[in-house]
A and B are shown apart, each in its own frame.
Chain A
Amino acid sequence: MQIKEEKHGDVMIVNIDDHLDTAAAPQFEQRLLGLIDAGERKVLVDCSKLEYVNSAGLKVFLLAAKKLEPVKGTMIISCLAPSVLMIFEMIGFTRIMKISPTREDALRAFGATVAT
């Protein structure tokens, strides 16, 4: 798995790809939680290239959402592939996390300007 970060205004976009599994989860946890510790409050996780997630990866999303809530931060997860979205639904995360079909929708939800 590769993790690439980019800043769009005050939104921190984190792009992840391939497999978010038990072997990859610690690296993702360190990066994502590290960004929140460093003060990022608008975090967009772009999953357009993510093919697979297991419970170790899901746990990282839950940890990040739990960390952001008390500091009034927001995480939006965008572009989940149907098979990955099914897993998010199965585990009940679509009820407690913000999911966006596209990156542009997510950026708009953060109040960022999006070039059309």
Chain B
Amino acid sequence: MHEGSISIRIEADVREIERLNRLVRQFGELHDVPSRTLYAVNLALDELVTNAMLYGFDDASGKDVLVRIETAGHELVASVHDGGKPFNPLDVKPPDLNAPLEDRELGGLGIHLVRSLMDQVTYRRDGDQNVLTVRKKIR
């Protein structure tokens, strides 16, 4: 994996996520990020960006979300920055994976995937921004 970084600013519209995925894939291929890692990072970013777009803004029109990715050493670090309401998705109750079908809840699936796919997920409020940072070791 080669060292490098990219910043991608996208409109707060879920149709933009496919473009984000494409850019992340291009960055990953250019920097020799293993395809399994790239898949996991793409899905985690999809979930975090979708969350920010759907729940952060009362009115998402004209708003945007910034994604940063950096490869350094044997680690990939990605962060999602949005100017929405303070919201820490890590506070969301994790789904009970052992619950029978009728009791399985619809919420919390996305953030559970992010936690499972990444080695570390952290949240901080930075001024008027929510910042979620994920880390994934390259093995």
Contacts and interface: CB of A to CB of B under 8 A. Distances in A.
Interface of A: 19, 21-23, 52, 54-56, 58-59, 62-63, 65-66, 69, 83, 87, 90-92, 95-97
B15 A23 contact: yes
Contacts of A83: 39
Contacts of A56: 50, 110
B113 A55 contact: yes
A111 to B, nearest CB: 22
Nearest to A22: B14
Given A21-B17, A23-B15, A92-B95, A55 B110 contact: yes
**Dominant SS at the B interface?**
helix
A54 B112 contact: no
**Dominant SS at the A interface?**
helix
Given A23-B17, A55-B47, 9 more contacts: A21-B18, A21-B46, A22-B46, A23-B14, A54-B50, A91-B109, A91-B113, A95-B97, A97-B101
Interface string B22-43: 0000000000000000010001
B43 A54 contact: yes
Contacts of A65: 101
Interface string B103-126: 010100110110011000000000
Contact of A59 (B101, B109, B112): B109
A14 B102 CA distance: 23
A21 B101 CA distance: 22
A66 B103 CA distance: 9
Nearest to A63: B106
B62 interface: no
A111 B135 CA distance: 47
Contact of A90 (B14, B17, B98, B117): B117
A83 B47 CA distance: 16
Contacts of B110: 54-56
